Structure 1
């Protein structure tokens, strides 16, 4: 971890500590998770705090590994402040989108940093379109295919809606990360318009699902 930036390390630690507390203290988890019922009662802080909780350690590990591998690509290009803007805005946009889908479902609850993580992933892919990942640490796959595939899986999870993971937040976070990095570097629209179109496929499918009343 010699090359990890301090901001990435701090986020890893905060997520770890909050998740640990949440998994070991039901009252803590219940107080800070994303809960439509409680948000409708005025507890708006949950839009932020839910993004640091996870349903289990596998959920946590997957998110934090993604953060570890992709965060510093952004930090090295745009600096700490704008990276935090991407992280936090993606987190909030993801949860606000979730609220819009489920605001009339009072008992809907979810947690996860995935909105922020998907924002980081999409932004880093735009900065390094040729990035390749090792699927299962073995099979090489373009990072953009992994990102789109993961969001398509999120759409499936969104339909099932049985695991307390905020799947809709994944889509909102990814879109926020994409837009924020384009706002920072508008030239990307000209240089990577095909990549942008591919990355937007899950967003388009989500809109269609919503219009067909397959969400909420």
Structure 2
């Protein structure tokens, strides 16, 4: 079994368990106040395995499934024998990093909660885009796939704008910083991806 599929199964299992156990959901959800004032740092990780509802879970896990295998394959080539371990470490750190801005912003708000794998999934997607910037991605209402690098520009721009508005109830900060971490991590472990990215984008033609 691939590590990607294993992470998906674990996430689905924990989300299902939390839906049937409000106490578990309450203990594991990302509550910045509890992290900052009660030292419950584990919430930075556990919240990434919880989801609000079935549509939230399906969207994140389908995205993870389509891109996680690619990143796992890249890491397996870069780190023979331990590629799966690198994927797990990368994913968990991405979840933590993507939550830090939320922690700082809402650390004194005991009523604020956040959950979901979006930060980690965004990191996975953007790590893929750095290596394969022309990969086709479907974006909201657009019926045809668009090149990954164009998706990245739209996604980052929208996430930054929406995070500044702060009224949608969605943690866009996690999306933004997870994506940026994914780019940074892949650039560090696979620096050849950077010139390759610009070469591929430079040779791209829309028609």
Offset, 1:190: 3.2
Question: Equivalent residue for 1:77?
Answer: 74
- Contact (CA 8 Å) 1:36, 1:107: kept in 2 or not? no
Residue number among 97, 101, 108 corresponding to 2:101 in the alignment: 97
Conserved in 2, the CA contact under 8 Å of 1:112 and 1:166? no
Q: Deviations over 1:23-47 (max 9, x none)?
A: 2222111110000221121111000
| Pairing 1:1-216 to 2, within 5 Å after superposition | 6-39=2-35, 40-79=37-76, 80-135=84-139, 138-155=143-160, 157-158=162-163, 159-163=165-169, 165-192=170-197
Unaligned runs of 5+ in 2: 77-83, 202-207
2:145 aligned counterpart, secondary structure: strand
CA contact (8 A) 1:97 1:168 kept: yes
Q: Distance in 2 between matches of 1:152 and 1:85?
A: 27
What is the distance in 2 between the residues matched to 1:157 and 1:15? 26
CA separation in 2, counterparts of 1:140 and 1:15? 27
User: Structure 2 vs 1, CA of residues 190 and 150 (structure 1 numbering), >3 Å: closer, same or farther?
Assistant: closer
Taking a change above 3 Å as real, the CA distance of residues 195 and 87 of structure 1, as seen in their structure-2 partners, is: farther
> Number of residues paired by the alignment?
191
Structure 1's unaligned 5+ residue stretches are 197-216
The TM-score normalised by the length of structure 1 is 0.79
Q: TM-score, normalised by structure 2?
A: 0.82
Query: What is the deviation of 1:120?
Result: 0.3
Contact 1:126–1:188 under 8 Å retained in 2: yes
1:129 to partner: Cα distance: 1.4
**Equivalent residues of 2:32, 2:102 under 8 A apart:** no
The 1:32/1:142 distance shift into structure 2, 3 A limit, reads: same
